[in-house]
Amino acid sequence: MGKKASKRVTLQITPKKFERLKWDPGLGERKTMTDYLATALRTAIYDGQFADGEELNQVELAVYFGISRVPIREALRQLQAEGLVRNIAHHRTVVSGLTLPQILELIEMRAVLEAHMLRKGAPNLDKTVLRQLRKICDETDILRDYGSRWVVKNWEFHRLLYGDQSKSMVEAVERIQLNVERYARQAGTAERQRQAAAEHRQILNAIERKDYEKASALLERHILHTGEEIQHDRELLGKRHFTKRSGGRQNRPMTKS
């Protein structure tokens, strides 16, 4: 669905934006067309395929998916209720975004919560789970970009660390992770990905040594590193924007004649 129609739309709506639907089995299940569309758009937004403020054009989406605009509108209403999109003038829908302070606050919350959950859950992790964690580390070592597969494997690693904990706590962490992951991917570099993979192994090594306090501290630091990377990326973008607006000129201090 969408391949043939995609040739008739602009470059905004392309198969790449929905590529995760092809290989992630968890996204294939749906009850209605509206549910499928909401899942496709939600996943694309969380994956960073649509930028903050980017328009989700109903006509182009309808042509791409080969359907009428009715289920498109219904799916967008779902996303609006979730806070992922908002309506602006002339019945247009755009992706909602988070400010840098909001992103950093969410990351700090996640770091504290996950560190606490690891301290509680790590002592109960058995050899089977530890082998699974090791396997995920091996798999992420060969990934070379912050694509959807990294996102999925990264979440699998973090989720396994908690063991059998409160469903509400796990869901709270997942909501935060979903909301900030797109910004981590936008700011991500190959070097940061290698660091993140190495940090996963350090956390796992501490757990295997039964040094759960150390593992908890490493996990908290690992998550906060993400916030630092995003903040650094935003600062660089701000400088580039300023330079572009000023025509590349730098303000120079006045000299006495």
> What pLDDT is recorded for position 9?
42
Structure tokens at 192: 């940061």
Q: Which two tokens stand for residue 120?
A: 């509680």
- Segment holding 103, helix H or strand E: helix 100-121
Q: How many CB atoms lie within 10 A of CB 62?
A: 20
* Per-residue confidence (pLDDT) for residue 73, from 0 to 100: 96
* Residue 247 pLDDT: 62
The span from the CA of 194 to the CA of 152, in Å, is: 16
Instruction: Please determine, looking at this structure, whether the domain spanning 100-244 carries the CATH number 3.40.50.2300.
Output: no
* pTM (predicted TM-score): 0.80
Q: Spell out the per-residue pLDDT of the chain, length 257, in tens.
A: 444 444 344 457 888 888 887 777 666 666 789 999 999 999 999 888 898 999 999 999 999 999 999 999 999 999 999 999 999 988 899 999 999 999 999 999 999 999 999 999 999 999 999 999 999 999 999 887 777 788 889 999 999 999 887 889 999 999 999 899 889 888 878 888 889 999 999 999 999 999 999 999 999 999 999 999 999 888 887 776 656 666 655 544 433 43
CA distances (Å), origin 23, targets 15, 18, 27, 28, 103:
13, 10, 9, 9, 29
Note the pLDDT of residue 200: 97
Which pLDDT does position 104 carry in this prediction?
Answer: 96
Q: Confirm if 235 and 116 have CB atoms less than 8 A apart.
A: no
The span from the CA of 56 to the CA of 76, in Å, is 9
Predicted pLDDT of residue 243: 63
pLDDT number for residue 226: 93
pLDDT of residue 257: 33
What pLDDT, on a 0 to 100 scale, did the predictor assign at position 5? 42
Q: What is the pLDDT of residue 125?
A: 95
Q: Which fold has domain 8-95?
A: Arc Repressor Mutant, subunit A (1.10.10)
Q: What are phi and psi of 94, to 5 degrees?
A: -125, 160
**Domain boundaries along the sequence of the chain:** 8-95, 100-244
* Beta strand ranges found along 83-159 (DSSP E): 85-88, 92-95
Residue 154 three-state SS: helix
Listing DSSP states for 32-95 in one string gives SHHHHHHHHHHHHHHTTSS-TT-B--HHHHHHHHTS-HHHHHHHHHHHHHTTSEEEEGGGEEEE
Q: Count of CB atoms within 10 A of residue 232's CB?
A: 13
Which burial class, exposed, middle or buried, applies to 95 when counting CB atoms under 10 A from its CB (0-12, 13-18, 19+)?
A: buried
